[in-house]
Amino acid sequence: MPETASDLFVERLMDWGVDTIFGLPGDGINGLMEALRKRQDRVRYVHVRHEEVAAMAAVGYAKFTGKLGVCFATAGPGAIHLANGLLDARLEGAPLLAITGMTYHDLIGTNYLQDYDTDYLYANLATYNQRIMGPAHIHNVVDMACRTALSHRAPTHIAFPIDYQTADADDLMRFKRNVPGHTTTAYARPVRTPPQAELQRAADLLADGQKIAILAGQGARGAGDELEQLAETLGAPIVKASLGKDCVPDDSDFTTGGIGVIGTRPTQDAMEGCDTLLIVGSSMPYIEFLPKPGQAKCVQIDDQPERIGLRHPADVGLVGDARATLQELLPLLERNENRAFLEQAQAGMREWWKLMEHRGTREDMPMKPQVVAWELSQALADDAIVCGDSGQVTYWITQMRLRRGQQFSFSGTNCSMAAALPYAIGAQTAYPDRQVVAFTGDGSLTMQMGDLATLMQEQLPVKLIVLKNNSLGLIKWEQMVFIGNPEFGVDFAPVDFVKIAEGCGARAFHIEEQGECGEVLREALATPGPVVVEAVVDPNEPPMPAKITSDQAKALGQALARGEEQRKRIGLTIGHELIDEQTFSASPYGVMGRMKEKVGEMVGRDGDD
Ligand SMILES: Cc1ncc(C[n+]2csc(CCOP(=O)(O)OP(=O)(O)O)c2C)c(N)n1
Ligand SMILES: [Mg+2]
């Protein structure tokens, strides 16, 4: 029987199916802690070392399970620490419930201890945001918060004043119109499909396309079979936004991999050359990599009507769940007998993977960061979950070759640093028996290093791989390549991550040579319990886009000329790669390779004649 308002609260969450909660206590939330203590056999409390990690772990949990992620923090400072996780949930589209303590209900607004209106704080973050006004309010508010988070894939927030947390569950203040039992935990997942007439309009438009490309995003996760069927029917390559990386595996014949500065050359060719674009569940923000408005006709599938036409003009908008909509659309489509566009993309991808293998097996010292991602992709378990991070590390990990059954995510639209470790905490809590790998940078890890200790404490056997370049690598290149300035304020003092990990009680490995990388990674992945792998990598390896623009080349030249301190090393590295990759047609330096291909095509054509 619930004795306190907190008992009511936690039991209602359990009725919603909540069995895991991430947080860090304080006197502003101790009433709720007692309700959790009494139910610790049914609700797993994951005790983290920083509230941001609690919120981000709950986002990771939600992203990999599709279930509601739940986190909590104490009043004032604890609540403020949670905020980035709410932003992450909002921009990444993850269902999240954040619970924060608040000072005593009759001292609010008096500059009392940790007195801060956390509901005001979250006003522009949470889709549903309420303050508990007494025990009789709890069911009403918890039900709305859970239902809203799940329906909108969005963050919601409940502020719970301290004295109400321990108030008697039999509250005598209930108003007569608040009929007990009038609200329930009933929930129906919205799976919409568009009207038949709209589906037919889309099918007609697609029937006119000759060079069709599909752009699939996070919303297409879970619709992989349908996407591949669609690609086969339309003769259309599937381009993947980074958050949709695992919607179709990288070894599928139909995908050209990622898009944007981290994307592949065949993707860019497909976007530049298509006459028809079919967007499935993507609103990825890199608009300049999409076909220019007017170039291609467009059908867009999205379950949020306000997103139709958001990034690219849509001729037909299909509002519906990606999988259910594709299942209705597929029978209306004719097979496109013109396979040339798909075949060109497939040939391009064969060249792309040759380039990736070349970059991933280079023996240079310092070790190239691509080597770590390449070797990792060979060593991963078939059902591995990989959590990426923000930085140059994003390039290497999103270009990794994922196999069918493996899952991937990172903070893709919020682009928050220090997401890999919390996401991995969330993923490993949800799937204790799967291999969970966090792939992170040294800048990110030093932001939330305390939570390495969480892995030990919670017995989460996460394998964390940190690329050590003693720098906020991505920003250094952005300063040079985007605005032509020499790097400034990006290097930092080296950290011995092996010692840090061992200090937390975890096993640790160190890699600095290509030759040992694969073997050490395999050993690390096979080691039970939490493991940290420190990989020392070249700080001067440029994150190369698939095609270099003249603006980028000019800005880099200007940055070097204006006194970039590493100009010699950078010049040497780029000069070396320019020669080294000349014969690879997928490389931006691959002029020779592309010429060879063109000549080959011409000779082949003549031969056929
Ligand atoms: C919370 C946060 N702060 C700052 C940034 C800006 N930022 C993006 S990537 C990056 C550098 C990441 O450095 P590191 O983790 O060492 O990875 P590297 O780029 O060196 O591979 C920074 C500072 C951000 N995205 N998120
Ligand atoms: Mg770094």
User: Does residue 459 belong to any structural domain of this protein?
Assistant: yes
**Which domain range does residue 121 map to?**
5-165
> Does pLDDT of 607 surpass 50?
no
Q: Which of 343, 374, 406 is the endpoint of a domain?
A: 343
* CATH code (residue 385): 3.40.50.970
Query: Quick one: 324 and 467 in the same domain?
Result: no
The pLDDT assigned to 595 comes to 78
Query: Quick one: 387 and 534 in the same domain?
Result: yes
**Confidence band of 602 (pLDDT split at 50, 70, 90):** low
Query: Quick one: 588 and 560 in the same domain?
Result: no
> Does pLDDT of 605 surpass 70?
no
* Residue having the nearest C-alpha atom to atom 3 of ligand 1: 417
* Ligand 1 atom with the shortest distance to the CA of 490: 23
The pocket around ligand 1, CB under 6 angstroms, is made up of 390-393, 415-417, 441-444, 467, 469, 471-475
Query: Quick one: 510 and 483 in the same domain?
Result: yes
The pLDDT assigned to 609 comes to 34
Please give the distance, rounded to the nearest whole angstrom, from the Cα atom of residue 449 to the centre of ligand 1: 15
Query: Quick one: 370 and 320 in the same domain?
Result: no
Per-residue pLDDT reduced to its tens digit, 291-350: 999 999 999 999 999 999 999 999 999 999 999 999 999 999 999 999 999 999 999 999
The length of the chain, given as a count of residues: 609
* Residue having the nearest C-alpha atom to atom 20 of ligand 1: 473
- C-alpha distances in angstroms, 140 versus 130, 181, 269, 281? 11, 9, 53, 32
**Confidence band of 286 (pLDDT split at 50, 70, 90):** very high
Rounded to whole angstroms, the Cα distance separating 298 from 312 reads 8
> Does pLDDT of 606 surpass 90?
no
Give the lowest-confidence range in 90-99, 381-390, 547-556: 547-556
Please give the distance, rounded to the nearest whole angstrom, from the Cα atom of residue 468 to the centre of ligand 2: 6
* Average pLDDT rounded to a whole number, residues 353-375: 98
**Closest residue by Cα to residue 439 from 481, 402, 485, 391:** 391
* Triad 204, 207, 208: Cα angle to 5°: 100
Q: From 472, 478, 479, give the residue whose CB has the most ligand 1 atoms within 8 Å, as the site to mutate.
A: 472
Query: Quick one: 458 and 309 in the same domain?
Result: no
User: Does residue 156 belong to any structural domain of this protein?
Assistant: yes
* Residue having the nearest C-alpha atom to atom 11 of ligand 1: 472
Query: Quick one: 530 and 574 in the same domain?
Result: no
Query: Quick one: 531 and 582 in the same domain?
Result: no
* Average pLDDT rounded to a whole number, residues 342-370: 98
Q: At what angle do helices 550-561 and 473-481 cross, to 10 degrees?
A: 100
* Ligand 1 atom with the shortest distance to the CA of 416: 26
User: Does residue 229 belong to any structural domain of this protein?
Assistant: yes
* Residue having the nearest C-alpha atom to atom 23 of ligand 1: 472
Please give the distance, rounded to the nearest whole angstrom, from the Cα atom of residue 47 to the centre of ligand 2: 27
Encoded tokens for 230:
């669609």
Task: Name the residue with tokens 């990386």.
Answer: 245
* Percentage of residues in the chain having pLDDT higher than 70: 99
Q: What is the mean pLDDT of the chain?
A: 96
Encoded tokens for 60:
């990771």
**Closest residue by Cα to residue 518 from 355, 374, 356, 353:** 374
Give the predicted TM-score (pTM) of the model: 0.97
* Residue having the nearest C-alpha atom to atom 9 of ligand 1: 391
Query: Quick one: 130 and 254 in the same domain?
Result: no
User: Does residue 352 belong to any structural domain of this protein?
Assistant: no
Query: Quick one: 210 and 96 in the same domain?
Result: no
Per-residue pLDDT reduced to its tens digit, 27-62: 999 999 999 999 999 999 999 999 999 999 999 999
Please give the distance, rounded to the nearest whole angstrom, from the Cα atom of residue 490 to the centre of ligand 1: 10
**Closest residue by Cα to residue 584 from 553, 532, 546, 533:** 546
- The DSSP result for 396-436, as a single string, is HHHTS-PPTT-EEE---SS--SS-HHHHHHHHHHH-TTS-E
Rounded to whole angstroms, the Cα distance separating 123 from 572 reads 51
Query: Quick one: 422 and 465 in the same domain?
Result: yes
The pLDDT assigned to 604 comes to 61
The pLDDT assigned to 13 comes to 98
Number of separate domains in the chain: 4
The pLDDT assigned to 72 comes to 98
Ligand with smallest separation from the Cα of 472:
1
Q: Which residue(s) pair with 437 in the sheet?
A: 386, 463
Encoded tokens for 166:
């321990």
Q: Are strands 276-280 and 212-216 parallel, antiparallel or unpaired?
A: parallel
Query: Quick one: 391 and 517 in the same domain?
Result: yes
Q: From 261, 372, 390, give the residue whose CB has the most ligand 1 atoms within 8 Å, as the site to mutate.
A: 390
